[in-house]
Structure 1
Amino acid sequence: MTTRFEGRCALVTGAASGIGLAVAQLLAAEGAARLILVDRDATALEAVRVDATCHRAVGDVADEALWDGLDLTGLDHAVVNAGVAGAGAITALDFAEWRRILSVNLDGAFLTLRAAMRAMGGRGGSIVLTASAAGIKAEPGVAAYGCSKAALLHLAKVAAKEGAADRIRVNAIAPAGVETPVWDAVPMFADRVAEIGRDAAFAELAAMGTPLGRYAKAEEVAEQIAFLLSDQAALITGTTLLADGGYTL
């Protein structure tokens, strides 16, 4: 195992499951000394076990008070990953549901990004925002989710330009389907899981929309995020890594 993050301090939001958990585990395995893990699921967050000093913060990333009270001293890396899913045609979508998704996926990302950039000011660092191929390719029923992720792609570019003077690199990753618990909030997927099982439901979705015929594992996305965070990507900023299995072709 390489040690690209030896002695580093990293923030990961949405760290209790899925991509966030996989990133936290990978950073710790590659030498990170201190992890600041944020999630609103207290039980799942407490169950995270990694070989690094951990500070666990339970709360909503869209709550400004959470960030006002969090000590990010010495922060080197940040993974702006917390997000929620949802579906519904525009004409049928309740405004409350629109706001729920935008609040976490965009407002929460902004607050996380702002806090991380403030902590890195004058020191340098690297940040990755977890966006989605849904922010690039239009599909029926994903207006709120897709728009929230499209906004993240531009937010990363603006942040990269603003952060460059402080040697802060900011990039985004845009996976398509990833086998994570976020799918459980999508009624269509939950229905298929009940009918044919989780693995078969993921395989069915991937076969329909992904030329390579499969979805990513959270661990694969974590490796891509770690590359963008690492010194191997020292000249990469303001970019989006599209890792979609050909979905957007």
Structure 2
Amino acid sequence: MTDFTDRTFLVTGAASGIGLATAQHLAANGAKRLILTDIAADALDAIDLPCAVDRLTGDVADEAFWDSAVPKLDGLDGAVINAGVAGAGPIATFGFAEWRRILSVNLDGAFLTLRAAMRAIGKRGGAIVAVSSATGIKAEPGIAAYAASKAALIQLVRVAAKEGAGRRIRVNAIAPAGVETPVWDAVPMFVNRAAEIGRDAAFAEMAAMGTPLGRYAKSEEIAAQIAFLLSDAATYITGSTLVSDGGYTL
């Protein structure tokens, strides 16, 4: 069991999916205070947790957003860099504006979050986990922007781990494959198929095509793995990427 008694964590993209599940897991396991960010103000406001909560609505890729967040990050023990967006299309026809939109949130936003967290944690030591993706490891057609952002995030984590080691800041990544989250609602192929056969059946159909374990993960499963990497059970792990993919990358 992970024990986060009296600890303060930052979670980005906290209003749904893996971010929300992680916030709930941390709160249920003793976290004293959570700093939750998301661009979806109403969903963020609706979160009810058994600990102190600071809600910051804004764009993680906006440097000014992080400048204004500095006072809220006082006493930070760890962070989960989770905010992200998806998009798909072949390179030859992919619009540059869409490329920049995805890279802005998934990579620029991750960098700004990481920088703010490392500054706030300082020399006290702590742990940071960035949510990458199995698509940053295994190439698939049609996801160049998303995959590139997630592959770059893995290397960013490795560099941060080396830089943070002297201050006892551990930095790791997790690389899930298919997870049943709202991010799929931005993928036209999934949306169309879900309209035809239902959401659960669409997830099952996709998992059957490329996941040896035959299913997609639940957000709660990934949240528990993130919590492990944040916990004292993982104090000798840094610069690593935990691949949680049901065998997808085999």
> What is the TM-score when the length of structure 1 is the normalising length?
0.99
Alpha-carbon offset, residue 177 of structure 1:
0.2
Structure 2 partner of 1:43: 42
The amino acid that maps onto 1:46 is D
Structure 2 partner of 1:155: 156
Q: Distance in 2 between matches of 1:164 and 1:152?
A: 18
The amino acid that maps onto 2:43 is A
Residues 127 and 196 from structure 1, CA distance in 2 versus in 1: closer, same or farther, beyond 3 angstroms? same
Q: Distance in 2 between matches of 1:72 and 1:46?
A: 19
After TM superposition, what 4+ stretches of structure 1 lie above 6 angstroms from structure 2?
A: none
Alpha-carbon offset, residue 91 of structure 1:
0.4
Q: Distance in 2 between matches of 1:54 and 1:26?
A: 14
The amino acid that maps onto 2:187 is V
The amino acid that maps onto 1:91 is A
- Helix, strand or coil at the partner of 2:216: coil
Structure 1 partner of 2:232: 231
- Number of residue pairs aligned between Structure 1 and Structure 2: 248
The amino acid that maps onto 1:64 is E
Structure 2 partner of 1:67: 66
- Deviation sequence 1:1-47 (CA, Å, 0-9, x none): x4610010000000000000000000000000000000000000001
Structure 2 partner of 1:17: 16
| Unaligned segments of structure 2, at least 5 residues | none
Q: Distance in 1 between matches of 2:40 and 2:226?
A: 23
- Helix, strand or coil at the partner of 1:121: helix
- Deviation sequence 1:189-236 (CA, Å, 0-9, x none): 000011001000000000001011000000000000000000000000
Q: Distance in 2 between matches of 1:158 and 1:120?
A: 17
Alpha-carbon offset, residue 120 of structure 1:
0.9
Structure 2 partner of 1:122: 123
Q: Distance in 1 between matches of 2:36 and 2:92?
A: 37
Q: Distance in 2 between matches of 1:3 and 1:221?
A: 14
Matched, 1:137 2:151: no
Matched, 1:54 2:53: yes
Structure 1 partner of 2:207: 206
The amino acid that maps onto 2:249 is T
Residues 13 and 49 from structure 1, CA distance in 2 versus in 1: closer, same or farther, beyond 3 angstroms? same
| Unaligned segments of structure 1, at least 5 residues | none
Alpha-carbon offset, residue 155 of structure 1:
0.4
Paired residues of 2:11 and 2:23 also in contact (CA < 8 A): yes
Alpha-carbon offset, residue 124 of structure 1:
0.5
Identity %: 73
Paired residues of 2:2 and 2:227 also in contact (CA < 8 A): no
Structure 1 partner of 2:169: 168
| Mapping of residues 93-108 of structure 1, within 5 Å | 93-108=94-109
Q: Distance in 1 between matches of 2:175 and 2:136?
A: 8
Q: Distance in 2 between matches of 1:79 and 1:208?
A: 30
The amino acid that maps onto 2:33 is R
Structure 2 partner of 1:6: 5
Structure 1 partner of 2:30: 31
- Helix, strand or coil at the partner of 2:73: coil
Q: Distance in 1 between matches of 2:164 and 2:121?
A: 9
Q: Distance in 1 between matches of 2:45 and 2:10?
A: 16
Q: Distance in 2 between matches of 1:162 and 1:77?
A: 16
What's the C-alpha RMSD, in Å, of the aligned pairs?
0.6
Alpha-carbon offset, residue 121 of structure 1:
1.1
Paired residues of 2:2 and 2:228 also in contact (CA < 8 A): no
Alpha-carbon offset, residue 182 of structure 1:
0.3
